[in-house]
Structure 1
Amino acid sequence: MYRLYIANKNYSSWSLRPWLLLRERGIAFEERLVPFGAGAFEGFSPSGKVPCLDDDGTIVWDSLGITEYLAERHAGLWPEDGAARAWARCAAAEMHSGFGALREYCTMNCGVRVRLEPQRPAVDRDVARVIALWHEGLERFGGPWLAGALFGAVDAFFAPVALRFQSYGIALPEPAAGYAERLRALPAMRAWYEAALAETWRDPGHEEEVARAGTLFADLRATG
């Protein structure tokens, strides 16, 4: 059975992607959650980062690398249609390597609600590009998912963005708003989110990022 190493569910957007893909597509795996901390992942991950997949001794790291490894072994994670598959791979790769301002200012923190500081044009540009990609995929391939009728890898790559938009109160037009709601309503997404709220770990670096982003007006996380 696959063993997937992840970090705190409240913070780890990279971990969410393969975890969600595996859960939603019914692929069995064992979860190993290792909290953030200096050197925490070095014993099992070549890069010292998560996610990291162990397939009976074959170690696969990086969310995109894991996705491609899984797609070679499980049909349908990328679309069967060639045009949809090409688009989905490009959109996922753009998410994987881009959107730097959105990542920097709206870091993953499932349990908070933040009023963003105004005058962040780079964030606005990234949000506009996400919306454009979502609209293009939904319109070209008919929805309800980005590349067609089935939830797949490209949707898993954008799932953390749907949580970021919720945490930072970023309003979306239709059909992007409906798509974000569908992502958050997935059974596996609900399970991830509920587990994130139940975590009592706090990582100082991640908490400082939230403080820099704007005004914290609600914290839904458990304490203890």
Structure 2
Amino acid sequence: MKLTLYSGTRNASSWAMRAWLSLKETNIEFEEIIVDIKRPQRWRNIAEISTFSPASRVPVLVIEQQTPDQKKTIIYDSIAIMEFVNELSNNQLLPDDSLVRAEARSMLAWQHADMGKICPSLSFESSFYPDKKILSADNVKSAEGLYQVWENLLTKYQGPYLFGDLSLADLTLVPSVLRLTSHLEPSSHFPLTKAWAEGLLNRPHVKAWLDDAYGLEPIYYDSYLH
């Protein structure tokens, strides 16, 4: 079985980062094709993706069976890719307990639904801006609300990750942790969250992606300052 991941520009594609991390953290071999999703070439490149993926965006995981008919399976959603990777790796990335696993999946789904008000207002691209804007009072409140949610989970499951061991819940949050902590470092009220975030962002595969991202020209949006 051959796996090919269509990912995206390192400082622009947070969804692809999640899928890529799940593959890397489970040591599954795959080929990567990086799709340039910066404007204006974004639309041409996405159009090419649409020839085999109904979602017309990255990430896309193409699974080619090593059979005479070369049958292919297309997985075109980041959570679906992460869940498939978890199954392929003998469930390394979800808790064994069914109730804890359901709670971890709740975090996955919440992230996929934009996780409240602040994440949609801070683009992944803004994580790599050398000069960050000052967050509004509402954004600070929203960020600290998320820090409290994570602090509670880290207390409940005694860390070092949200549900004890590293899971898909942690990996799916990496881009959000980056964009939030780069704008507002967790205060002393959230010591477990601060340690968890630092540990997560310093994992070797996370650092490898981020090193590439920081080496690229930042992608600016006028809406960032408004």
Shorter-chain TM-score category?
0.7 to 0.9
Whichever residue aligns with residue 9 of structure 2, its letter is N
Q: What is the distance in 2 between the residues matched to 1:22 and 1:88?
A: 18
Q: For residue 116 of structure 1, give the secondary structure of its aligned residue in structure 2.
A: coil
Whichever residue aligns with residue 127 of structure 1, its letter is A
Pick the aligned partner of 1:138 from 143, 147, 154: 154
Pick the aligned partner of 2:201 from 184, 198, 217: 184
Taking structure 2 as the reference length, the TM-score comes to: 0.83
Q: What is the distance in 2 between the residues matched to 1:190 and 1:7?
A: 16
Q: Is the CA contact 2:11–2:124 (under 8 Å) kept in the aligned structure 1?
A: yes
Question: Which stretch shifts more, 24-33 or 108-117?
Answer: 108-117
TM-aligned CA distance change 1:118 to 1:24, over 3 Å:
closer
Taking structure 1 as the reference length, the TM-score comes to: 0.83
Q: Displacement, 1:68? A: 1.8
* 1:57-95 residue CA offsets vs partner (Å, 9 max, x unmatched): 210011111112222322222111222211100011111
Matched with 1:2 is 3
* 1:156-175 residue CA offsets vs partner (Å, 9 max, x unmatched): 11111121124324434211
Q: For residue 175 of structure 1, give the secondary structure of its aligned residue in structure 2.
A: helix
Matched with 2:43 is 38
Pick the aligned partner of 2:172 from 149, 152, 157: 157
Matched with 1:105 is 121
TM-aligned CA distance change 1:93 to 1:209, over 3 Å:
farther
Q: Displacement, 1:107? A: 0.8
Q: What is the distance in 1 between the residues matched to 2:157 and 2:182?
A: 29
Whichever residue aligns with residue 35 of structure 2, its letter is V
TM-aligned CA distance change 1:166 to 1:112, over 3 Å:
farther
In terms of Rg, which structure is larger?
A: 2
TM-aligned CA distance change 1:183 to 1:136, over 3 Å:
same
Structure showing greater relative contact order (alpha-carbon pairs closer than 8 Å, 6 or more residues apart): 1
Q: What is the distance in 2 between the residues matched to 1:32 and 1:209?
A: 29
Over the matched positions of the two proteins, sequence identity in percent amounts to 27
Q: For residue 150 of structure 2, give the secondary structure of its aligned residue in structure 1.
A: helix
Matched with 2:62 is 54
Residue pairs, 1:165-180, within 5 angstroms: 165-172=180-187, 173-180=190-197
Q: What is the distance in 2 between the residues matched to 1:100 and 1:20?
A: 23
Q: For residue 161 of structure 1, give the secondary structure of its aligned residue in structure 2.
A: helix
Unaligned runs of 5+ in 1: 214-224
Alignment length (residue pairs): 207
Matched with 2:69 is none
* 1:126-145 residue CA offsets vs partner (Å, 9 max, x unmatched): 31332133122212222111
Q: Displacement, 1:42? A: 3.1
